[in-house]
Amino acid sequence: IKRLAREAQVWCQLNHPNVLPFLGLYILDSVPYLVSPWMDNGHALDFVQKNPEADCLRLLAQVAKGLEYLHKFKPNPVIHGDLRGPNIFISQSGDACIADFGLSELIAETYETNYSTPFIIAGHPRWQAPEIIAAATKEAARRNTTTDAFSFGRVMLELLTKKIPFSDITQDILIGFRVMSGEVPPRPLDNEVVARGLDDDMWELMMACWDPMPSRRPSASDLV
């Protein structure tokens, strides 16, 4: 219930073409549900897998615009905290909309740095920054704009390859250890992936998002 209330509190304030609209709260059989428009095209990973001609670069640009909106939200920025393909939906017109704000929260005015609410052992290690996975305290586990940037780099890889990051590894715990050690997914070099847009410049941008030093990662505005 607390997570649902938190998600509704954040989501209801947002209004952007690349953020899934919030329609309201509905209670069925004493169970509350958050209501949004139905997305016929499903989530982003599913969409690019089913649509070979999907313009992945266009979708990524839209996600970046949505993320920039969240990070520049007034009076306080919003940190998504769990950015990944299944949390990005594709509208009937084929546009990307960021969704699932369960790990998000408006940044409290008392914080001097870009921190959101802490969640330890939340999110998915395939997309999470190493400092979040390695966090031993709530303070260390606070998500921020730089951890969202890290996750965006994983989304870039995910959509361009049509596979989840570290797709060859089935156990999340092994992925967690590899990410904490500084390992990044191998660069795909097959012609189809390159044709979708994964060239040298795009790979360089991904690596910048995955920089082990959070302060060196690009901002959402840099990604647009």
Encode pLDDT of 155-193 as tens digits: 999 999 999 999 999 999 999 999 999 999 999 999 999
pLDDT band at 138 (very low <50, low <70, confident <90, very high): confident
Task: Tally Cβ neighbours within 10 Å of residue 177.
Answer: 14
Average the pLDDT over each of 25-29, 71-75, 84-88, 200-204 and give the range with the smallest value: 25-29
Those residues whose C-beta lies under 8 Å from the C-beta of residue 206, and which sit 6 or more positions away, are 153, 156, 157
pLDDT of residue 33: 78
Average the pLDDT over each of 115-124, 131-140, 209-218 and give the range with the smallest value: 115-124
pLDDT in tens, 2-34: 667 766 777 788 999 999 988 887 788 877 777
User: How many residues are recorded in the chain?
Assistant: 224
Is residue 145 helix, strand or coil? helix
Q: For a pLDDT cut of 90, what percent of the chain falls above it? A: 66
Task: Tally Cβ neighbours within 10 Å of residue 167.
Answer: 13
Q: Which domains does the chain show, CATH number per domain?
A: 2-223 (1.10.510.10)
pLDDT of residue 9: 77
Q: Average pLDDT over the chain, rounded to whole?
A: 88
User: Is the pLDDT at 144 greater than 70, yes or no?
Assistant: yes
CA R_g for the chain: 17
User: Is the pLDDT at 119 greater than 80, yes or no?
Assistant: no
Q: pLDDT higher for 118 or 148?
A: 148
| Distance from the Cα of residue 191 to its chain's centroid | 26
pLDDT band at 118 (very low <50, low <70, confident <90, very high): very low
Average pLDDT for residues 192-202, to the nearest whole number? 97
CA gap 79, 69 in Å, rounded: 10
- For residue 105, give the nearest of 205, 24, 36, 12 by alpha carbon: 12
pLDDT band at 121 (very low <50, low <70, confident <90, very high): very low
pLDDT band at 100 (very low <50, low <70, confident <90, very high): confident
pLDDT of residue 142: 84
Catalytically active residues are: 82
